[in-house]
Chain A
């Protein structure tokens, strides 16, 4: 994949470039602020942009704002230092977007998998964010009717995984996952369209309302 990396920390940026290069990707540009990012994206038309949410000049959410401007032409993965649900959920529901904590890059395989999903038009939501969304205090409703296993399946779907991905992670047969999904959708009252992306949307829309 041709990737543009934007992060103001040189150390992190270099590390990320090396990691992506070693994984066989082509980092076409590595920049340090949102203006340079937009210029680089305009020049290279990459398959994916990996962007730090906090960048100069304001050091608040320049990355997120740049991401909004780039999409949907370019799939974007936002990297953040902390868990928050405001930017993430609203962007994730439109596809071609990922929101991950920065230390997620240390789980190299998961991280690369998430990049691929997003570049393919899917989504990736950090497990910790999903955890916050599915936290018990929020769930005074039908979610509490889910079994533990159904809950695990739902969390992985919300992270952006396909049935196959969920099955691999939970060491289940894919058909079992499908059965769980049907159960979940039935309990939550969501129509299962079978389309992976729309399914994530439905789940996220449900859990974040």
Chain B
């Protein structure tokens, strides 16, 4: 990016140096004109845009913004030099060529505008907006020459006592042309703003901020001169400073560091304060006039009344004006507001899922790398989750906007692209989208809590089943073995032998019952996987079953148990009520959703009986649909999402 300044910056810099040198040399003549401080101040002020121009030209060598900016100071410096040189013609000792330059200087002021016109043409990209704009530039230059020529000629002709016969039409044509050309030039930034991308708009807003001061201070100067009889030097100092310092500074910042400050807020506040001041002044004047007039006392009463009323309305007025201005100037924030508002409404109306808030924020803030992380109340410090519930950590190298409700940390918006403006917009969006974010967080918490509960209950079932098998059942078998051992002491066929047979048989029945019970709590077959358990389940049934289940289906304990019970309940239902000839069971696992379809060719018309199945499915976040037309068989479809689900 860096490199030696290009000649296009060197030219205006050289012109400025030459002009400044000439002015100093001319001032040093015996019959000096202006006092030294005025000359020094003028040159100092003019050097500012030149320095900014050099800075921009050095940092951004491609493009002509630097040169145009330098011309803002260089052109007046050259013009002033020419004027001073020409004016020596009126002194006893004119400089060489002063007579001709006197004529030239008369219309030279027009070139004071050259720098600004160039700036309008090339800012902010460094190139004219399009090919046709070269023609506009040339037209502007030509009309400048024309105005220069016409003005010089007209004044010279008048001073010579031979008025130019074509004065009126020529003046009209030249100035009309110049105004049209300048109008066209000013149109450039307007068009750019309308068509430009975000950065272009930001940069143009900086220019607006700088240039906005120009007419305001001009009006102030005019007012000061009219009402308070200020001298032109004093009255227009602000205007000149705005032209030669504020605008170049704004342009330099726009090109070099458009993200330096939040320009929208700067611009918005400036404009809002300006409008507030103007309206307050108007109110002050109106009230002063209205109260002071009828009372006739003039002066004091009107003044105090006006001050009172103005003070009264100042703050609410400013707030109101700030709102209006924000809507116009800080358009992005307004758009963000409106879109988030719509989204929040859609969530409230049930037409949008609160979990999509991350996508909406990405879209609204034009930041595809944005991430929304929420804190779950039971999470460890520094532990977050994304809106789908997957655990996440706050990336340490990225900037994030914290989300808080009171003292509670709700989460954070992690930005993909960072700037002062984006940070502010994101903070603002976080406030606007607080509700859907909070709902997302709470729903996640609900889901996580339910998953924790189910996992705990599944673990309990597993433990209980194990206790039954490995504890009670084993002990009964062991007791039975002792009885068998005891039985050996009695001869076969003796009453004791027969009694013991009966006791052991009773124990066997108890074991069978225990096995049945344990199976109801948690089918031990699930140890071998859902597929094996389902195969075993239908193996003992009285009607043919077409079972299709991927042998490698991998789901957690909770989902597997649920799926097993769904199939066994629905299957039992089909056997019991539907008089089914065949049952088809289809299990598929696609994209993290376990889909179970159980259908039969029975009598249909099933209504109740499946409530417990539905409850069970719902409890793990699944859904179930039943289609059972009378005489048309029964089809039960269950979908259980199991991605992200923790537990075994």
Q: How many residues of B are counted as interface, with CB atoms below 8 angstroms from the partner's CB atoms?
A: 36
Q: Does B89 reach chain A (CB closer than 8 Å)?
A: no
Q: A19-B481, A108-B484 are in contact. Are A103 and B511 (CB under 8 A)?
A: yes
Chain B nearest CB from A12 CB (Å) reads 5
Chain A residues with CB under 8 A of B538: 137
Q: Interface readout for A126-147 with B: 1 if CB under 8 Å, 0 if not?
A: 0000011101111010000000
Chain B residues with CB under 8 A of A11: 474-475, 478
Q: A11-B474, A135-B541 are in contact. Are A103 and B488 (CB under 8 A)?
A: no
Q: Does A94 reach chain B (CB closer than 8 Å)?
A: no
Q: Does B6 reach chain A (CB closer than 8 Å)?
A: no
Chain A nearest CB from B560 CB (Å) reads 14
Q: Is the CB of A12 within 8 A of B478?
A: yes
In the bound assembly, the distance between CA atoms of A132 and B540 in angstroms comes to 5
Q: Does B528 reach chain A (CB closer than 8 Å)?
A: yes
Chain A nearest CB from B541 CB (Å) reads 4
Interface residues on A, range: 20 to 34
Chain B residues with CB under 8 A of A47: none
Q: Interface readout for B541-556 with A: 1 if CB under 8 Å, 0 if not?
A: 1111100000000000
Chain A residues with CB under 8 A of B524: 81-82, 84
The dominant DSSP class at the A interface is helix
In the bound assembly, the distance between CA atoms of A137 and B582 in angstroms comes to 9
User: CB within 8 A of B519: which of A82, A133, A135, A138?
Assistant: A82
Pick from A16, A103, A132 the residue with the most CB of B within 10 Å: A103
Q: Is the CB of B481 within 8 A of A15?
A: yes
Q: Is the CB of A12 within 8 A of B477?
A: yes
Q: Is the CB of B542 within 8 A of A137?
A: yes
Interface-facing stretch out of A54-62, A159-167, A182-190, A198-206: A54-62
User: CB within 8 A of A102: which of B474, B519, B532, B541?
Assistant: B474
Q: Is the CB of B478 within 8 A of A82?
A: no
Q: Is the CB of B481 within 8 A of A135?
A: no
In the bound assembly, the distance between CA atoms of A60 and B469 in angstroms comes to 12
In the bound assembly, the distance between CA atoms of A19 and B508 in angstroms comes to 17
Q: Is the CB of B473 within 8 A of A16?
A: no
Chain A residues with CB under 8 A of B525: 82, 84
Q: Interface readout for A55-75 with B: 1 if CB under 8 Å, 0 if not?
A: 000011100000000000000
Chain A nearest CB from B114 CB (Å) reads 88
Q: Is the CB of B481 within 8 A of A85?
A: no
Nearest opposing residue in chain B for A133, CB measure: B539
User: CB within 8 A of A103: which of B466, B480, B528, B543?
Assistant: B480
Chain B residues with CB under 8 A of A18: 481-482, 485
In the bound assembly, the distance between CA atoms of A22 and B484 in angstroms comes to 10
In the bound assembly, the distance between CA atoms of A132 and B473 in angstroms comes to 21
Chain A residues with CB under 8 A of B340: none
Q: Is the CB of B515 within 8 A of A82?
A: yes
Q: Does A86 reach chain B (CB closer than 8 Å)?
A: yes
Q: Is the CB of A106 within 8 A of B474?
A: no
Chain A residues with CB under 8 A of B291: none
Chain A residues with CB under 8 A of B539: 85, 132-133, 135, 137-138
In the bound assembly, the distance between CA atoms of A85 and B488 in angstroms comes to 34
Q: Interface readout for A98-110 with B: 1 if CB under 8 Å, 0 if not?
A: 0000110110100
User: CB within 8 A of A54: which of B470, B482, B536?
Assistant: B470
Q: Is the CB of B541 within 8 A of A81?
A: no
Q: Does B504 reach chain A (CB closer than 8 Å)?
A: yes
Pick from B481, B504, B512, B515 the residue with the most CB of A within 10 Å: B481
In the bound assembly, the distance between CA atoms of A140 and B547 in angstroms comes to 13
Chain B nearest CB from A45 CB (Å) reads 26
In the bound assembly, the distance between CA atoms of A108 and B538 in angstroms comes to 31
Pick from A15, A131, A133 the residue with the most CB of B within 10 Å: A15
The dominant DSSP class at the B interface is helix
Q: Is the CB of A9 within 8 A of B478?
A: yes
Q: Does A152 reach chain B (CB closer than 8 Å)?
A: no
Interface residues of B in 419-476 (CB under 8 A from A): 466, 469-470, 473-475
Chain A nearest CB from B466 CB (Å) reads 7
Q: Is the CB of A137 within 8 A of B474?
A: no
Q: Interface readout for B486-523 with A: 1 if CB under 8 Å, 0 if not?
A: 00100000000000000010011001100100110000
Q: Is the CB of A102 within 8 A of B477?
A: yes
Q: Is the CB of B473 within 8 A of A81?
A: yes
In the bound assembly, the distance between CA atoms of A105 and B507 in angstroms comes to 12
Q: Is the CB of B478 within 8 A of A81?
A: no
Chain B residues with CB under 8 A of A81: 469-470, 473, 515, 524
Q: Does A120 reach chain B (CB closer than 8 Å)?
A: no
Q: Is the CB of A105 within 8 A of B527?
A: no
Chain A nearest CB from B514 CB (Å) reads 9
Q: A22-B485, A61-B527, A140-B544 are in contact. Are A132 and B477 (CB under 8 A)?
A: no
In the bound assembly, the distance between CA atoms of A108 and B488 in angstroms comes to 11
Nearest opposing residue in chain B for A103, CB measure: B511
Q: Does A14 reach chain B (CB closer than 8 Å)?
A: yes
Q: Is the CB of B481 within 8 A of A137?
A: no
Chain B residues with CB under 8 A of A135: 539-541
Pick from A19, A54, A137, A138 the residue with the most CB of B within 10 Å: A137
Q: Is the CB of B544 within 8 A of A137?
A: yes
Chain A residues with CB under 8 A of B477: 12, 15, 102-103, 105-106
In the bound assembly, the distance between CA atoms of A103 and B528 in angstroms comes to 22
In the bound assembly, the distance between CA atoms of A8 and B478 in angstroms comes to 13
Q: Is the CB of A9 within 8 A of B484?
A: no
Q: Is the CB of A105 within 8 A of B515?
A: no
User: CB within 8 A of A137: which of B473, B504, B515, B540?
Assistant: B540
Q: A82-B469, A135-B540 are in contact. Are A22 and B488 (CB under 8 A)?
A: yes
Chain A residues with CB under 8 A of B488: 22
Chain A nearest CB from B224 CB (Å) reads 93
Nearest opposing residue in chain B for A82, CB measure: B524
Pick from B466, B515, B532 the residue with the most CB of A within 10 Å: B515
Chain B nearest CB from A94 CB (Å) reads 19
Q: Is the CB of B536 within 8 A of A132?
A: yes
In the bound assembly, the distance between CA atoms of A81 and B515 in angstroms comes to 8
Q: Interface readout for A23-46 with B: 1 if CB under 8 Å, 0 if not?
A: 000000000000000000000000
Q: Is the CB of B542 within 8 A of A106?
A: no
Chain A nearest CB from B467 CB (Å) reads 12
Q: Interface readout for B230-252 with A: 1 if CB under 8 Å, 0 if not?
A: 00000000000000000000000
In the bound assembly, the distance between CA atoms of A138 and B545 in angstroms comes to 8
In the bound assembly, the distance between CA atoms of A84 and B542 in angstroms comes to 18
Interface residues of A in 1-22 (CB under 8 A from B): 8-9, 11-12, 14-16, 18-19, 22
Closest A-B pairs by Cβ, 3 of them:
A15-B481, A137-B541, A11-B478
List 17 A-B pairs, Cβ < 8 Å: A9-B474, A15-B485, A19-B485, A22-B488, A61-B527, A81-B473, A82-B518, A83-B536, A85-B539, A103-B477, A105-B481, A106-B477, A106-B481, A106-B484, A131-B540, A137-B539, A137-B543
Residues of B bordering A, CB below 8 Å: 466, 469-470, 473-475, 477-478, 480-482, 484-485, 488, 504, 507-508, 511-512, 515, 518-519, 524-525, 527-528, 532, 536, 538-545
